[in-house]
Amino acid sequence: MRKIAVVVACIVLAGCSHFTKKPVVGTVEFDTSLTRFSTLTGIYHQDMCSKANPDARVHLSNSEMRSILAMADKSGFYRAPTDLTTDWSDSDKPAHCATFRLHIESGGMHNEVRWDCRRNGSSEPPIVVAPLVDLIRKTLRSKKEVQAMPWSSCGVR
């Protein structure tokens, strides 16, 4: 009976974080030409170019969300220009050049940044978003649901 009274008192006073974990509020949407992930749907989609199931349910923990949102703030993501795409003439843009999109929202702050391949042909993100994109990729690739997916049979576009 005493333990129940303590739990009720903590919930009423809203100060006992060791009894309840408040979820981190924010959204992350990451889209490449072959993969998409959104915390709104909890779906990681990978274009398989085959009949394999291209989706996996993925949940980011509070700790993972805190890390991503902290990196977004620290890296200046919310102040980054929306359009980081390369200025191509139509004839210069490589056929395999994909468009990437990263949208993050948290606590009244939000931004969406788009980029494509660089002049050297690499698909590495621009420096302003690179640490954040690397963290998101590592976090998603560490998930057992993503690791269990078969390799995509898509050719380079």
How does residue 114 score in pLDDT terms, banded at 50, 70 and 90? very high
pLDDT tens, residue by residue, 118-128: 877 788 899 99
Burial 82-99 (b: 16+ CB within 10 A, else e): eebbeeeeeeeeeeebee
H helix intervals, 19-143:
62-74, 130-141
pTM (two decimals): 0.78
Q: Contact at 8 Å (CB) between 110 and 103?
A: yes
**pLDDT tens across 131-152, in order?**
999 999 999 999 999 998 877 6
pLDDT number for residue 154: 67
Whole-number average pLDDT of the chain: 80
What does the pLDDT read at residue 5?
Answer: 33
Mean pLDDT, residues 64-74 taken together? 95
H helix or E strand, kind and range, residue 36: strand 35-38
Return the structure tokens found at 146.
């993503």
Q: What number is the average pLDDT over the span 64-79?
A: 95
Q: Can you tell me which residue has the tokens 């359009």?
A: 83
Does domain 22-147 fall into CATH 3.30.1560?
yes
Tokens of 119: 């002049």
Q: What is the pLDDT of residue 89?
A: 74
Domain spans of the chain, in order of start: 22-147
Burial of 34 (C-beta count, 10 Å sphere; 0-12/13-18/19+): middle
Q: Quick one: average pLDDT of 92-117?
A: 89
Place of tokens 């008192």: 9
Token digits for 121? 């042909």
DSSP lists the bridge partners of residue 103 as 29, 112
φ/ψ (deg, to 5) at 36: -140, 145
Q: What 3-state class would DSSP assign to 99?
A: strand
Inform me whether the pLDDT recorded for 86 exceeds 70. yes
